[in-house]
Structure 1
């Protein structure tokens, strides 16, 4: 699934207190499909409002409180696998900006490795079973 997780950085996500309101989340949700379609790619995509993670994450995953995120880099650093902890966006000058707080090695080397920042070992095992990366991508190496 193609993901537009970094969209909140471009549209006022992490670091923008107004982005946590339900009206702002609805506005972003309405704007993103058009941006995805204009790209010429018709793939499934997903957007997460990183500025609002602290409002829904504990209830959804049964964890303790999560502090508000101050930046997109801080948000990306918590994503569940190092290879997925990457966000890409176009800056105001149409240059590609890459945010990869843990680097790009796991992504480029085809390694599925859990990021323990916010994901427990049990949740990581569940994700591994659900996503079955070695079935989808036979050359992926799983490191637990």
Structure 2
């Protein structure tokens, strides 16, 4: 690619080409092989485009970081809500156990009452038979002539 030079101006403009290459001052990631760097002449428009793209990438990165933080905050909030629900569930489980115990007691008392009603029904039947028998004897006694025999 041929270097591009701007037209001559009275004011000293920024160079239209930049020298890219040479020894790097940044930490190397990956292989630590020392590769010779070539020198390239890069037009200023390419540098500006790269700066714009880099700015866009930085903006998108900030937005992603914000979303990750929001999701993390939401997960923490959900965790807190679940943490608050746990003790309430524990209390309700205790109340359910108390009610179940009371139901067992009520069912036991109901069974006792049913047995008592059944026993009273048998006694009523026996008493009715006794009353009928006594009524019959009374009727027999009333039909007998009174006096010595």
After TM superposition, the score normalised by the length of structure 1 is 0.21
Question: Which of the pair has the greater relative contact order for Cα pairs under 8 Å at 6+ separation?
Answer: 1
- Between Structure 1 and Structure 2, the one with more helix by share is 2
